[in-house]
Structure 1
Amino acid sequence: MTTLCAAEPHHASRDDEVASLTQRLAAADADETEHLRHEIVEACLPVADGIAHRFRGRGVEDDDLEQVARTALVAAVTRFDPSLGHPFVPYAVLSVEGELKRFFRDHTWAVRPPRRLQELRLEARVTEESLRHELAREPTVDELAEVLGADPGDVRTACRSSCGYHAVSLDAPSPTGTTLAERVVVLDDPAEQVITHQALVSAMGELTSRERQLLHLRFVEELPQREIGDVLGVSQMQVSRLLSAALKRLRAQLLAAAA
């Protein structure tokens, strides 16, 4: 695990320094122990920061990642027992990585999915990258599920759970100048719900069977466009065009019914 420091030219001297400090720590009295632990933390800060930077791009500020990693490093130094004779750096790496993963699991979700889905999502990301290189294309959900030994529906749900990382404010302005709250339809009157449902059923009846299937795959099964293309036998770009055309027709039917 110490190879994580290999990108830094002086990592060998740092490891030697940390090894020397931990040896002294094993024989230190109570007054010297705190000082030695402080020196070990300072020597290993670049290691903790380097691990934190591997978790960039997941919606968390760099400063927050470094804070979590450094806090985990301090805790690792406090727990470390030098009398066992094990090197400190590999232990610290595992501790910092584990704490960062727990941080993402427990504190970065706007809507937190079940733990099994979180773990499956992480496994799916690694497997997807491996299959992408092996197949020279995007793997399908069925291919991912086969490698993971999981149900395709669970894999699909786990992949979609990434949407739970971030929440959008209802007051956030859209490119058109309106807010999301202004575009969200809230129907409190049961009669209005029935009328709207009937209008939607009627409008859907004006679409082709293929268009209805397309809308079902997108908004009921919530499949991504790539998987919809696999079902319909078209490209992802064609799915986008077909979806836009179907929604435009559906919107026109609803507006005509409202008029």
Structure 2
Amino acid sequence: MNAPAVTEDRARERAAARAALVRLRKMPSDDPEYMGLREYVIGEYMSYARYIAGKFRQRGEAQSDLEQVAYLGLVKAVDNFDPDYGAAFLTYATPMIAGEVKRHFRDTTWDVHVPRRVQENALAVRAAERELTQELGHPPSAAEIAHRLELSADEVAEAYEAGAAHNAASLDVQTSMSDGDGASLGDLLGGEDPGFELVVKREALKPLLAKLSPRDKRILLMRFFRNMSQTQIAEELGVSQMQVSRLLAQILGQLREQVEAGP
């Protein structure tokens, strides 16, 4: 079949679809023919919905997902179109289908909540960046993007920051290790180092230890730096092991209270 014949056949199909759509809108929804006629009209315009979805294919979403969203917009257009307003169906359906796809990007593809205005700017900045790269032959500057979109430099910067929130990595995602074993991203993230708290406590103890009596300093030195037992300390000091135990408890208790009390 030659091209003119194909064009004529397609024109007749579109004319039949438009006639069916007008008939559908004048038909009560409980009419036995209503659902069949509705499915026929939707089927006739599905290729156009796919065409609209194709305009958004470079934004990181699967084409099949975008087409499903576009079909939803088409169904809404078919169900709400009123031929009495005088507008052609595609004139009415095009912004509705495109709007449904844009709403999909705005509401369902962001892992982190971002205000709608910023989401729209982020999508517009991304599209402008692609267009200007093709036109200029090099990646555009933020100022060039701002001029194209009539945005301020702060709004463009905000849009770029929001773009980082579009996708968030799960801590459960598996990563490849050098030895071939897998580990989750969460396993590779550092935790709180208990050594930091030790440093804080040590610094807090320094001035308190300096104020101890020579005897108390000697007891702590023998117990914690020479690793002597209480019995050995008692023999060196000439006291009982019970007295050493009480002295250690008293010294450590006072130091603990002073550290917890703060400066």
TM-score (norm. length: structure 2): 0.60
What SS does structure 1 have at the residue aligned with 2:74?
A: helix
CA-atom RMSD, angstroms?
A: 2.9
CA distance in 2: counterparts of 1:100 and 1:85, whole angstroms = 25
What SS does structure 2 have at the residue aligned with 1:174?
A: strand
| Match in the other structure for 1:94 | 95
Give the Å deviation of 1:104: 0.8
Instruction: Say whether the 8 Å CA contact 2:129–2:145 is kept in structure 1.
Output: yes
Instruction: Say whether the 8 Å CA contact 1:18–1:88 is kept in structure 2.
Output: no
Give the Å deviation of 1:23: 3.4
Write out aligned runs for 1:137-156 (5 A). 137-156=138-157
Aligned pairs, number: 188
Q: Comparing both chains, which one has the higher relative contact order based on Cα–Cα distances under 8 Å and sequence gaps of 6 or more?
A: 1
TM-score (norm. length: structure 1): 0.61
Gaps of 5+ in 2: 1-5, 201-263
The answer to whether the aligner puts 1:25 opposite 2:24 as a matched pair is: yes
- Supply the AA of the counterpart residue of 1:141: A
- Supply the AA of the counterpart residue of 1:175: S
Gaps of 5+ in 1: 1-7, 196-259
The answer to whether the aligner puts 1:184 opposite 2:183 as a matched pair is: no
CA distance in 1: counterparts of 2:115 and 2:172, whole angstroms = 28
CA distance in 2: counterparts of 1:43 and 1:100, whole angstroms = 20
| Match in the other structure for 1:220 | none
Give the Å deviation of 1:60: 3.1
Change (3 A) 1:126 1:64: closer
- Supply the AA of the counterpart residue of 1:72: G
Write out aligned runs for 1:1-259 (5 A). 11-25=10-24, 27-30=26-29, 31=31, 32-176=33-177, 177-187=182-192, 191=196
Which deviates more from structure 2 when the two are superposed, residues 141-150 or residues 182-191?
182-191
Deviations 1:190-230 (A, max 9, x none): 945988xxxxxxxxxxxxxxxxxxxxxxxxxxxxxxxxxxx
What SS does structure 1 have at the residue aligned with 2:75?
A: helix
State the percentage of identical aligned residues: 36
CA distance in 2: counterparts of 1:54 and 1:162, whole angstroms = 20
Change (3 A) 1:11 1:108: farther
CA distance in 1: counterparts of 2:28 and 2:163, whole angstroms = 49
Deviations 1:72-106 (A, max 9, x none): 21111111112223221222222111111011101
Give the Å deviation of 1:69: 1.5
Structure number with larger C-alpha Rg = 2
CA distance in 2: counterparts of 1:96 and 1:140, whole angstroms = 32
CA distance in 2: counterparts of 1:165 and 1:64, whole angstroms = 17
- Supply the AA of the counterpart residue of 1:178: A
CA distance in 2: counterparts of 1:89 and 1:133, whole angstroms = 30
CA distance in 2: counterparts of 1:110 and 1:155, whole angstroms = 20
Give the Å deviation of 1:66: 2.3
What SS does structure 2 have at the residue aligned with 1:100?
A: helix
- Supply the AA of the counterpart residue of 1:154: E
CA distance in 1: counterparts of 2:195 and 2:163, whole angstroms = 33
CA distance in 1: counterparts of 2:13 and 2:98, whole angstroms = 19
- Supply the AA of the counterpart residue of 1:185: G
Instruction: Say whether the 8 Å CA contact 2:72–2:100 is kept in structure 1.
Output: no
What SS does structure 1 have at the residue aligned with 2:174?
A: coil
CA distance in 2: counterparts of 1:164 and 1:115, whole angstroms = 13
